[in-house]
A = this chain, B = another copy of it.
Amino acid sequence: MDKSVRVAVDAMGGDNAPGQIVKGAVEAINERKDIKVFLVGKEAEIRSELKQYSYDYDRIIVVNADEVITNDEAPVMAIRRKKNSSVVVALSLVKNGEADAFVSAGSTGAVLVGGQLIVGRIKGIERPPLAPLIPTVNGVSLLIDCGANVDARPSHLVQFAKMGSVYMENVIGIKNPRVAIVNIGTEEEKGNMLVKETFPLLKNCNDINFIGSIEAREIPNGGADVIVCEAFVGNVILKLYEGLGGALIGKIKTGLMSTTKSKIGAMLCKSALKETLKSFDASSYGGAPMLGLKGLVVKSHGNSKSVEVKNSILQCITFTEQKINEKIRLNIQEEE
Contacts and interface: CB of A to CB of B under 8 A. Distances in A.
Interface of A: 74, 136-137, 147, 150-151, 182, 184, 189, 191-193, 195, 215-221, 231-233, 235-248, 250-252, 254-256, 258-259, 261-273, 275-277, 279-280
Contacts of A252: 252, 273, 276-277
23 contacts: A136-B247, A151-B192, A182-B236, A184-B232, A184-B235, A184-B239, A217-B239, A218-B243, A219-B240, A219-B243, A220-B244, A221-B243, A236-B236, A236-B237, A244-B245, A248-B248, A255-B276, A256-B269, A256-B273, A261-B268, A263-B269, A264-B268, A265-B265
Contact of A242 (B217, B238, B269): B217
Contacts of A189: 74
Given A147-B184, A233-B233, A235-B184, A240 B217 contact: yes
Main secondary structure of the interface of A (DSSP, over half): helix
A270 B262 CA distance: 8
Contacts of A267: 265
Nearest to A195: B232
A82 to B, nearest CB: 19
A250 B221 CA distance: 10
**6 A-B pairs with the lowest CB-CB distances in the bound complex, closest first:** A265-B268, A255-B276, A265-B269, A220-B247, A217-B243, A262-B272
A248 B280 contact: yes
